[in-house]
Amino acid sequence: MIKFNHVYKVFEKDIKALDDVTFSIEKGEFVFLTGPSGAGKTTVFNMLYREETADMGTIFVENTDIFHLAKRKIPFYRRRIGFVFQDFKLLFDRSIFENIALPLTITGAPQEFIKKTVHEAIEKIGLGGKADLNPWHLSGGEKQKTAIARATILNPPFIMADEPTGNLDEESSWQIMNMFGELNSKGTTIMIASHNKEITSRMAKRVIRLESGKVVLS
């Protein structure tokens, strides 16, 4: 599914973001990416989303060398990845319905299909009756559920989440993790960056740990 092979990335002032990083994630795995701030977690995610490219090494996703994708193909590649951001990245000038519907709208899906699919997603995440609300009216946990619904509305085979419980209380955090667990049980590959040691311990999933740009545990 995902293969990092001897990946290096150096930013300005000789800062090594990634230093000979090699790991693989199999289809259907649930993996935590951990490590202190500055360890390279964000760089890994940015590379998988094709916002950054490596100085050396290769990254394959579903047997595709993502660094050699033509620019015109990158948007289509990204549709196969659900990216859940720590700060939600919701559009606050649009309703919950419109936020979740956005990926379907971009792909040109029929309106009736969008309406049915999005309302089903809203009910599933427990926000029935709130479709027309603006994200400002939601709690942190509700915003994150909305972000997850948007990221998964196209049924991507791979989901990345950057500190999805970082700003949430304990109850909301476990609700979010249960959502990821359910997605994984249906075959979706999950990769979550997290500092939460309790969650990574209790979930008992594989951990890839980065320190100073190097993999120290996988």
pLDDT at 118: 98
- Please state the rounded mean pLDDT for residues 16-28: 97
- Please state the rounded mean pLDDT for residues 176-185: 95
Reduce the DSSP state of residue 111 to 3 states and report it: helix
Round to whole Å and give the CA distance between 175 and 171: 6
pLDDT at 166: 86
Name the pLDDT band for 217 (thresholds 50, 70, 90).
Answer: confident
- Please state the rounded mean pLDDT for residues 41-46: 95
Q: What is the dihedral of CA 159, 218, 141, 167, to 10 degrees?
A: -130
Average pLDDT, the chain: 95
Ordered structural domains, the chain, with CATH: 1-40+59-80+156-218 (3.40.50.300), 91-155 (no CATH)
The strand pairing partners of 211, in sequence order, are 214
Q: Quick one: tokens of 178?
A: 């249960």
pLDDT at 73: 96
With a cut of 80, say whether residue 81 has pLDDT above it. yes
Name the pLDDT band for 144 (thresholds 50, 70, 90).
Answer: very high
The structure tokens 């915003």 sit at: 143
* Residue 93 backbone dihedrals phi, psi, to 5 degrees: -100, 10
Name the pLDDT band for 218 (thresholds 50, 70, 90).
Answer: confident
